[in-house]
Amino acid sequence: MGGDSVRREWPRYAAAVTENLMSGGRRLRQAFLQTPMRFAVARSPIIHPTDREPSVVLLRNGFAFRSCYFPDGRRAIARVLAPGDFGGLDNIVLAGPAAEITAASRVGYHTLPAATVRALTRDHDIALTMLMLGAEAHLQGDRLTATIGRLDAAARIAVLLLDIHDRLFRRGFISRPTYNLPMTQEQVADHLGLTLVHVNRTLRRLREEGIAVFDRGVVIIRDIDRLREFASGLPQPAELAAELPAATSTTVSPIRTDA
């Protein structure tokens, strides 16, 4: 079960740009890490559509959602941000935020004004890194679109649990197929285009079939190969490991060890 994560081969970036991307990624993150860490409690906005001065954030720990709201009060969660993710990258070129980013749990994050990040792109390697981050976001969006458009409820939830696992593993936050995911069943439904009843029934099925358990914010993957079977054929974005200080994974771990 755990060995699959170690053996897994991830899509790679072209050799001609890998060093540039690693260098640009280090410098971009360092620019954010030089700012004071901010904190937000669950359900509080980190970036709001009415913000007059758009910013870009680097999530240091905790989880957040990128969401949009409909006139009747319904919500769609377009993206789940995990530790190490950037949020609000589109603010670099837009006049104002296109969507709200809200803390899903207590989060620590760094922020820079969009104008400051634009200035950083004068560095060739950072500019390439920004293109990489944009490509990753695009592929993640394609993956979510294909998941919702073609997969059933069990496969949609399986892909969500697998994707969060893989992102945390690649970034060195976890070494076992167990992690904390502070999402309610209602939020899972808002992200995957399902009803709350369907999510509840499907999570019970995944648990009974010995595939995965998601209970009270803790995910335990029991059969990761089955999860990968559900995701077979979907767009698979490449990703460089997030180079965050070691303190990121020790001060506020995404794993709930008291469960």
Backbone phi, then psi, for 37, in 5-degree steps?
-75, 135
9: left (phi over 0), alpha (psi -120 to 50) or beta: beta
CA distance 171 to 255: 13
Q: What is the pLDDT of residues 183-223, one digit of tens each?
A: 999 999 999 999 999 999 999 999 999 999 999 999 999 99
- Say which CATH class 3-251 falls into: mainly beta
For residue 80, give the 3-state DSSP assignment: strand
In angstroms, rounded to a whole number, what is the distance separating the alpha carbons of residues 211 and 213?
7
CA atoms within a 13 Å half-sphere pointing along the CA-CB vector of 180: 19
Side-chain half-sphere of 21: how many Cα atoms within 13 Å? 20
* Three-class SS state of 113: strand
Q: How far apart are CA 95 and CA 216, in angstroms?
A: 39
Element (H, E) at 187: helix 185-192
- CA distances to 65, 156, 197, 236 from 194, rounded to whole Å, are 17, 9, 8, 23
**For the whole prediction, is pTM greater than 0.85?**
yes
Domain ranges, ordered by start, for the chain: 3-251
Ranges of residues in the chain whose predicted pLDDT is under 50? 1-3, 5-7, 242-259
Sequence-distant (≥ 6) Cβ neighbours of residue 116 within 8 angstroms: 31
Tell me what pLDDT residue 167 has: 92
What is residue 13's predicted lDDT score, i.e. its pLDDT? Answer: 84
Helices (H), strands (E): how many in the chain?
9, 11
